[in-house]
Amino acid sequence: MSRTVFEPRAHGYRLVWEDEFPGTTLDRSKWKPRSLGPRGPAFVSEEAIEVRDGYLWLWAKKDASGQMLASAVGTMDKFQPRYGYFECRAQVQKSAGVWSAFWIQSKDIAKGEDPAVYGAEIDIMECFRKLGPDIVSHNVHWAYGPNQKSTRGMQSTLKGLSTGFHTFGLEWTPDKYVFFVDGMPFYEARIGISRIPEYLILSMEYPNNPEELARTLFPDVFVVDWVRVWQKP
């Protein structure tokens, strides 16, 4: 949409929450491991969540028995904002099969079909390596259940996305979602708008398709430098 880099302060936003992952343990006042236990073909485990060197490391790996481990953290019941500018700086995984994700979700998404009332799943960034080396995806889902609805998948291509650190952002207002890569707006959606508080999630996900999973090189990792949330007064 534009190569002009979005500056939150210039648009009236102020920083209200952040984590730069200092120390050697997850800040439990901000995050907690999410969905521990079986998830698809893997097992979400705290063993695959690591904080060191100023980064959050979310691993896809195998334990001594060969069990595949996934990782996820979320801010549910700790920080659940409504509207704002959400951004993380991160390095995506290296291989195909598993995928890294930065998203927000409502606790009530499965309770009804109106996203304004029950919220949505807003995929700020998902990296599916099967789509290509320098592509990330964005999507919105709502009305979990038999009548689930979604926007079309939106793919952003930017040279170099598959290596090094990049920023992935979302501006969420009562009227629209705008998806950003390295501060530049790539897509805008005006359907499925949540108007209730939602919580943040960072995760390494697994496919159910064994053929896709065969392309994963273990261990692989999603490395997060920081997460920031901006809101208008």
Q: Which domains are assigned to the chain? A: 8-231 (2.60.120.200)
> Given this model, what pLDDT does residue 91 score?
98
Q: What is the pTM of this model?
A: 0.96
Give the count of beta carbons closer than 10 Å to the beta carbon of residue 136. 29
> Given this model, what pLDDT does residue 210 score?
86
> Given this model, what pLDDT does residue 180 score?
98
Mean pLDDT by groups of 10 residues along the chain of 233 residues: 92 98 98 95 97 98 96 98 98 96 97 98 97 95 96 94 97 98 97 98 94 92 98 95
**Helices and strands (H and E) in the chain: how many:** 2, 18
Question: What amino acid occupies position 132?
Answer: G
Tell me the CA distances in angstroms from 130 to 78, 126, 127, 162, 199, one per residue in order: 34, 12, 9, 12, 28
> Given this model, what pLDDT does residue 152 score?
87
Long-range contacts: 155-159, Cβ < 8 Å, 24+? 155/131, 156/181, 156/186, 156/187, 157/132, 158/134, 158/182, 158/184, 159/134
How far, in Å, CA of 199 to CA of 211, rounded? 32
Give the count of beta carbons closer than 10 Å to the beta carbon of residue 206. 22
Place of tokens 């521990």: 36
How far, in Å, CA of 194 to CA of 168, rounded? 20
Give the count of beta carbons closer than 10 Å to the beta carbon of residue 207. 20
Residue 105 in 3-state DSSP? strand
